[in-house]
Amino acid sequence: MSTENNVRIKAENVHFYYGDKMAIKDMSMNFYDEKVTAFIGPSGCGKSTFIRMLNKMNDLVPHTRAEGSIHFDGENILEKGVDVVKIRRKVGMVFQKPNPFPKTIFQNISYGLEVNGEKNKKVIAQAVEESLVRAALWNEVKDRLHDNALRLSGGQQQRLCIARCLAVAPDVILFDEPCASLDPISTNKIEELILDLKKNYTIVIVTHNMQQAARVSDYTAFMYLGELIEFNSTDKMFTVPREKKTEEYLSGKFG
């Protein structure tokens, strides 16, 4: 098990409410540097809700509230007055459905840099190329950077969204079912990319695909009805789960 020294995010006694409905109940867990943590569990169990707390996306939803603490870079990001823009710059997110801007491939990536104040065209061009290389997309698009991004295939669009995320140099990347709408070949490319990216980032992935969790993650968190049932190294979780509920889910008895 990783040591305290490389804990990137620490969640303690986290609760989350949509109005009066409790969606997350007393979650405590760590996320480690240069590791992939996968969330598994049946639909509606709170996986996406919880990871959206890690970059404060839930703040955009009315009538919600959070309790407990999520410490990242020395501050509790659940406290009022936290710089949300700074958090989202450091904690990037890739969604279930690819969502490129209706702009050129180049502009999709340069946009975030320009919004953050970068004006040097050479710096921007280099960052665009580096981001596309790291997202394993450069060779496919280098001759069509000024084409509309919406003309890319679904798998390419998702890798473009990853490149867009990488361009602003986050520390953490959240993937919310990034392969749900992709074919097996594109899924394989995204999985290979995640394994490569973990050398430099803390990665969190929500997936309905247990085989995917087993393939890409170092740690797995199993959630059920808003609670964390079990959190362990992926090897242990999939071979000798501690909790009966985890074993039942992994063996397909429900979910």
pLDDT at position 232 over 50:
yes
Query: How far out from the chain centre does Cα 166 lie?
Result: 12
39: helix, strand or coil: strand
In a domain, 109, yes or no: yes
pLDDT digits (tens, 9 = 90+) for 236-248: 999 999 999 999 9
Predicted confidence band of residue 4 (pLDDT cuts 50, 70, 90)? low
Q: Is residue 75 domain-resident?
A: yes
Q: What's the pLDDT band for 174 if we cut at 50, 70, 90?
A: very high
At 2 the pLDDT is 44
Q: DSSP E strands: which ranges in the chain?
A: 7-18, 21-32, 36-40, 64-72, 75-76, 91-94, 172-176, 202-206, 219-224, 227-233
Tokens 């209706």 map to which residue? Answer: 102
pLDDT of residue 118: 93
Question: Residue 197 belongs to a domain with what CATH number?
Answer: 3.40.50.300
The pLDDT assigned to 176 comes to: 97
Q: What is the pLDDT of residue 227?
A: 98
| Residue 235 CB neighbour total at 10 angstroms | 13
**Any domain includes 45:** yes
The pLDDT assigned to 254 comes to 82
pLDDT in tens, 46-68: 999 999 999 999 988 999 999 99
pLDDT of 179 higher than 80: yes
Q: In what order do the strands lie in the sheet with 91-94?
A: 91-94, 172-176, 202-206, 36-40, 219-224, 227-233
Q: Is there a domain that residue 77 lies in?
A: yes
Domain count, the chain: 1
> Band of the pLDDT at 1, cuts 50, 70, 90?
very low
- Tell me if 163 sits within 8 A of 169, measured CB to CB: no
Determine, yes or no, domain membership for 1: no
pLDDT at 215: 97
For 226, the domain range is 7-250
Mode of pairing for the β-strands spanning 36-40 and 219-224:
parallel
Buried b (16+ CB within 10 A) or exposed e, 40-59: bbeeebbbbbbbbbbbbbbb
Task: Please report whether residue 67 resides in a domain.
Answer: yes
Q: Is residue 74 scored above 90 in pLDDT? A: no
Q: 255 lies in a domain?
A: no
Nearest CA among 140, 109, 139, 143 for reference residue 126: 109
Summarised one tens digit per residue, pLDDT across range 122-148 is 999 999 999 999 999 999 999 999 999
The answer to the question of residue 14 being in a domain is: yes
Q: Give the distance from CA 73 to its chain's centroid.
A: 17
pLDDT tens per residue, range 26-42: 999 999 999 999 999 99
Tell me the C-alpha to C-alpha distance, in Å, between residue 28 and each of 2, 50, 122, 133, 231: 16, 11, 44, 36, 10
Question: What pLDDT sits at residue 60?
Answer: 87
pLDDT in tens, 83-110: 998 999 999 999 999 999 999 999 999 9
